Structure 1
Amino acid sequence: MNSDVQIAGDPLALPHLLPPVPAHPATVAGFAGLARSIAADRAAWAPLVRYDTTTRWYHRLRTVPQATVGYEVWLLSWVPGQGSGRHDHGASSGVLTVLEGELTEHTATGPRALAAGAQRVFAPGYVHEVVNDALAPAVSLHIYFPGLTDMPMHPSQAASSGGAAAPSEVLAP
């Protein structure tokens, strides 16, 4: 007896019947997935990493213009003791993924340890500080959508009234 594939043919063999693969993410989940796929390709990012004891090191991995989708992908390294300062990301949303080591994120609700594989997804206006409190270097990947154009600094949490932070979400590895 003939199977459906024998009668009609294999629908997967006809590319025009498949939905188009998006060239760029269009959702928060898509950006989180992009970060995970970049993180998984260690051979592509690991040779680029540098450690600088005088300043935080960073490298732009990808820029997609606003006319297309508008996002940037950054690779950052953190030696022990280095931090970002308390800041937000202006009108940009983002995904922070820890690639190696451990970072601590400080927010109005307190500190949170982020081990390798952990992700943070945040909305515009989300205020935090990221610090390497560990004894070993760390590497993180940051995706900002739209691309980062503003990073306002804020007074330290101890000096502020501890106002409410914008929503964020932790995604486990």
Structure 2
Amino acid sequence: MPDVRTPSPASVSRPSPGSPGLPGTAAAPARSFPDPGPAVPPTEADLLDFARRTAADAELVASLPLAPEDRTWLRLAGPGGSEAWLIGWPPGTGTGWHDHGGSHGAFVAAAGELTEQSLAARLPTEGWRTLELADDVDRERRLPAGQGRAFGPHHVHEVLNASTTRHAVSVHAYYPPLPLMRRYSRTGQVLRLEQVEQPEEWG
């Protein structure tokens, strides 16, 4: 696995509102797409459909400024009040292990390829700092452009651009909008809760 750089929002000099652990720039206004229904909360399938349609918008994807070392982003208008982002990934960048605070979501690669490492186990959300994982809980997905996945409210993963030469771009959507994120470190099969981030920390 390559060295994964995960700069914090405070380390980025570009003036912009923050997103969950995704430093970058909001250089364009949010884009709107058809809403599945004003009174109907979007399902995982709705979020995945939105991410796929948005990832296929070549003009939007091309409008995202890309930086040589830091991830960049544009906030989007997601369906049904969801939180959505277009994210650029320089080679070797990643998220680190995290969850989504009980929100469900989806993401789709729009350019390049992303690798997702995830846990096929539901973790307790409270009352622990360190967990020993079973040997068979690890899952890996490679997601080239046009491919993605949806996930439920207890999903724990890390996402990275494993390429050493090529940027990747992806679309992410979450509902409800992320109430918090838990960040983890991992050594072998030991997962440790390191930080709980609140939305106000994202700027």
Normalised to the residue count of structure 2, the TM-score between the two structures is: 0.60
8 Å CA contact 1:72, 1:144 repeated in 2: yes
Query: Are 1:73 and 2:84 counterparts?
Result: yes
2:91 partner letter = P
Task: Verify: 1:142 aligned to 2:172, yes or no.
Answer: yes
Q: Which amino acid aligns with 1:114?
A: L
CA distance in 2, matches of 1:125, 1:74: 20
* Deviations 1:108-127, CA, capped at 9 Å, x for gaps: 32332111111111111211
Residues 95 and 123 of structure 1: is their aligned pair in 2 closer, same or farther, counting only changes over 3 Å? same
- Structure 1 pair 99–63 and aligned structure 2 pair: CA distance change class (3 A): closer
The aligned length equals 137
Shift, 1:42, TM fit: 1.7
Structure 1: which 5+ runs fail to align?
1-20, 163-173
- Unaligned runs of 5+ residues in structure 2 are 1-35, 120-137, 193-203
Alignment of 1:13-162 (within 5 A): 22-23=37-38, 26-43=42-59, 45-62=60-77, 69-108=80-119, 109-134=138-163, 135-156=165-186, 158=188, 160=190
Greater relative CO (CA pairs within 8 A, separation 6+): 2
1:78-124 Cα offsets, whole Å, 9 max, x none, are: 01100001101112111011000001111232332111111111111
Cα separation, 2, equivalents of 1:85 and 1:112: 15
Give me the whole-angstrom Cα distance separating, in 2, the residues matched to 1:158 and 1:116: 30
* Higher Cα radius of gyration: 1
> CA RMSD for the aligned pairs?
2.3
